Every structure is written in structure tokens, then in C-alpha cells.
Amino acid sequence: MTRPLLSNTVARRLFLDRHLLLNPKAGTGKGRDLDGVLGDLGFVQVDSVNTLARAHDLILWSRRGRYRPKALENLVAKDRTAFEHWTHDASIIPMPFYPMWRLKFIRDEARMRARWSADRRAGWEAEIETVLQHVADHGPVCSLDVGGTEKKASGGWWDWHPSKTALEFLWRSGQLAICHRKGFRKFYDLSERVIPPEWLNARRSDPETIDWAMTAAITRLGFGTSGELAAFFDIVTRTEAADWCASALADGRILNAIVELADGTPRPCFTTHAVLDTVPSLPAPSTRVRLLSPFDPALRDRTRAERLFGFRYRIEIFVPEAKRQYGYYVFPVLQGDRLIGRIDVKRTGSALHVRGFWPEPGVLMGKMRCAGLSAELGRLCGLAGTDDVTFAKDWLQT
């Protein structure tokens, strides 16, 4: 049987459509509408860097221009329609997914016990029951509320004293849940006080969880290798993913396909008939210039982004400024189905200040495209809480 071939143009458009970026819909960006966006994406990564806006806020704003941070806070802390845990990194996840995270709780607990003894300060395991009892007796706590007599370094954020480590262990293993944040500081409570009973008490077998995770991943990515599907939620092992793909292929639930990469190379992958059926009705790409988070789910796999879009992206955090090709923390810029460049922009007082924009090879920055970029920055002021956009003299790095 001939494998379906997705040209690079079709593959990019399908991938962006699955990530709600090809031609984003209008919506309130809160409540049920935001629940729907989160469910369609599968999760949004949480990150502390706030030079412009936090990663999760920028990700959601890119799909819903009316979104504001309070709306996501309400889903987690008030409505309880989402919870915070880990995929490949700390993320906000739809609450209906909670039963499937139990397998991750178990696997993370085993991994932490095996690795943290060497990676963390000694004594944290002895604090587990003490910290758990403290939360049970006193309610929500943050890391400052535990380990009062323990020696703490002045660094604060990175100081994993034994009680803080125990607190994180209890969260990662599912015994505690994040009930809310103040600023960016997490507050933890017993899971039974945070997670609604219908999700807390639901159970799924390991095979059911694996099947759900793989099916959900291929639906949200559109296509991928078994390793890419396993990495989406980071619940399933590589071996389990390969076995699932073999079984699903034999059952006709998935099929082999070929994706043309940006350099013309054919790459085998898996997809579904349901996904392929959507290709003829894909909307035309939006012509709007869009600024994305470096942790956008469409870009977090840097290797895949380079293969599919020809866009090599790295954050040059640990590179000395004199040796950086771009700024320390640059944002990818999308137009249509193409990543057209990266921009160094940050909040400076009441303005967004653009230090530099680097177009991708072959991208011409004419008047219309520059106007589109300026318009996007103007829209971004509403999220960033600024009222003006300023540009460095030599901002356009052509």
C-alpha cells in the first residue's frame, strides 16, 4: 500500500492548525472558551521568565487575543477545570486528564526516589511525613512555610532545602496538588482538597492510560514518530510507544505516512485517517504577523521545528553577550505558515522596547511586513500592561 505523502507546505499547515495557529478563531479567552483551547492544545508550559509575558500567558494570548492571565488563574484556583503538574516540564493541564496522570505519579515517584538521593540535599525523605502532616493540619503552604529550622541559602528560589524537596516530591507523586499561586510562588494542599472528586476518584488501567496518551498525542500533533508521540505528554515510555504504534497500525487505527521536511527530505511518520480527512478543508493561513512564546507547544521540540520549518531556534541563555548571534531571550515570529524571524523585545517601564529583529533567510522586511510586526507589538501591549512600543535605532538586523 502506498504511503500518503504530506508535502512540506501541507505538513506545516496541518501542524499549525492542530496547534490552533494556522488561522486562530475569535473567542473570549476565558471560562469555557479557554477550557476548550487548553483541551485542544493538551497543556501549556509554565515558565517563570517574564521579560515580556510569562510563557503560558503568551501561548494562550497567541490563540485568543482577548485572553488575560487572570482567566487561567481562575481555571486552576477557582473553577478547578485545570491542574498543574508535569509533562516534559511544569504545565497547566485540563482537569479531565487527571486520572491518566496517576501512572505518571507512580513513575515519577520511583524516578525521584532513585535520583534525588544524589541530586538533592540529604534528609529530604525523612521530612516527607512531617511535611504531609503539616499540610493536612494547616492547609495550603508554600516552600517558605516548611522547614523553619533548616538552613537555607540566600538564593531562595534555587535552594532546595530538605522540606522544600519533600514538598515537591509530594506534589510530583500526586499526594499534594497546587491549589493556587501568589505571584509565581506555588501553594500546595492535599490533593483531595483541590481535585474535584469525579476526577480524583476515577481510575484507568495502565493500558488504558497508554492508549489514551498516544491517541491524544497523534490527534494534537497530526503526525509523528512513536518517539514524538511518547514525548508529547511524557507519560509513555519509548518501548510502550513503539509497541502501541505496532498494535494500532495492525488494527488500522493509525497508518504509515511520509512527511516532506523543509529541506525536501522524506520522513516516515504515523498519522490517522481522521487527520488526513481534514487536509482538504484546512483554512487558509492567516496573514497576520504573530509573536510566539519560545515555549510554544508548536516549537518546544526544537529539532522538529527545524526539520519542519527550517527554523533553527535556541535560547542563548548561557552564551556570553559578545558571542551571541541574537539577544539573550528572543521570541519566534510567525506569519502564515512560515516562521519569518526572531525578535528581542522586553518590557521597559510603560513601553515595549524592541532591541532587534532578525529575519530568516529569504524574508524581505518591506513596508507591509514591518507594519504587520508593529501592529502585533501594539496588540501585545494589552497583555504586557504597556502603552507604547519603542525601537532601537538599529533594530532591523537585515
Length of the chain: 398
Q: Which CATH architecture has domain 96-201?
A: Orthogonal Bundle (1.10)
Distance CA 177, CA 38 (A): 19
> What does the pLDDT look like over 303-333, one tens digit per residue?
999 999 999 987 666 677 767 777 778 999 9
Residue indicated by cell numbers 537585515: 398
- The pLDDT of residue 156 is 47
Compute how many other C-beta atoms are within 10 angstroms of the C-beta atom of residue 31: 14
Place of cell 487536509: 279
Class of domain 289-391: alpha beta
Task: Return d(Cα 128, Cα 139) in angstroms, integer.
Answer: 16
For the chain, give the percent of residues with pLDDT over 70: 95
In sequence order, the 6+-apart residues with CB closer than 8 A to the CB of 261 are 8, 267, 307, 308
Can 96-201 and 205-282 be said to share one CATH topology? yes
Three-class DSSP labels, the chain: CCCCEECHHHHHHHHHHHCCCCCCCCCCCCHHHHHHHHHHHCCEECCCCCCCCCHHHHHHHHHCCCCCHHHHHHHHHHHCCEEEEECCCEEEEEHHHHHHHHHHHHHHHHHHHHHHHHHCCCCCHHHHHHHHHHHHHHCCECHHHCCCCCCCCCCCCCCCCHHHHHHHHHHHCCCEEEEEEECCEEEEEEHHHHCCHHHHCCCCCHHHHHHHHHHHHHHHHCCECHHHHHHHHCCCCHHHHHHHHHHHHHHCCCEEEEEECCCCCEEEEEECHHHHHHHHHCCCCCCCEEECCCCCCCCCCHHHHHHHHCCCCCCCCCCCHHHCCCCCCCEEEEECCEEEEEEEEEEECCEEEEEEEEECCCCCCCHHHHHHHHHHHHHHHHHHCCCEEEECCCCECC
- CATH number 1.10.10.10 is the correct assignment for the domain at 205-282: yes
Closest CA to 333 of 21, 125, 80: 21
* Mean pLDDT of the region 106-127: 86
Residue 37, amino acid: V
> Is 139 a residue whose pLDDT tops 70?
yes
What was the pLDDT predicted at 398?
A: 81
Residue with cell 491542574: 83
pLDDT tens-digit readout, 350-373: 999 999 999 999 999 999 999 999
Our measurement of the distance from residue 113's CA atom to the centroid of its chain's CA atoms, rounded to an integer in Å, reads 26
For the chain, the structural domain boundaries read 96-201, 205-282, 289-391
Residue-wise pLDDT tens digits, 45-104: 998 888 899 999 999 999 999 999 999 999 999 999 999 999 999 999 999 999 999 999
- What is the per-residue pLDDT for 318? 67
